[in-house]
A = this chain, B = another copy of it.
Amino acid sequence: MPYVNIKITNEDVTPEKKAALIKGATQLLVDVLGKNPATTVVVIDEVDTDNWGIAGETVTKRRKEGK
């Protein structure tokens, strides 16, 4: 019954990696809290680098600067 939301920038996130995130997050809830995987929901939000900010600037700008 848990709900997990993973927000990441949309940089090279393949369907295989998404499947691995979903599998791993679900297993984490099973292992730590004994939750039922059948009703554990995981939603991945991929965010454009223009729309993600850290340290007051966009990730787009940081990537151009090699950060």
Instruction: Give residues in A with beta carbon < 8 Å to B.
Output: 1-9, 13, 15, 17-29, 31-33, 35, 37-47, 50-61
Report the separation of the CA atoms of residues A18 and B28 in the bound assembly, to the nearest whole angstrom.
Answer: 11
Nearest CB of chain B from residue A9's CB, rounded to whole Å: 7
Asked whether, in the complex, the Cβ of B17 is within 8 Å of the Cβ of A57, the reply is no
The listed residue (B38, B44, B53, B60) touching A41 by CB distance below 8 A is: B53
- Which residues of the other chain, B, contact A13 by a CB distance below 8 angstroms? 33
- Which residues of the other chain, B, contact A42 by a CB distance below 8 angstroms? 52-54
Smallest CB-CB separation from A5: which chain B residue? B5
Q: A4-B7, A7-B4, A50-B15 are in contact. Are A31 and B41 (CB under 8 A)?
A: no
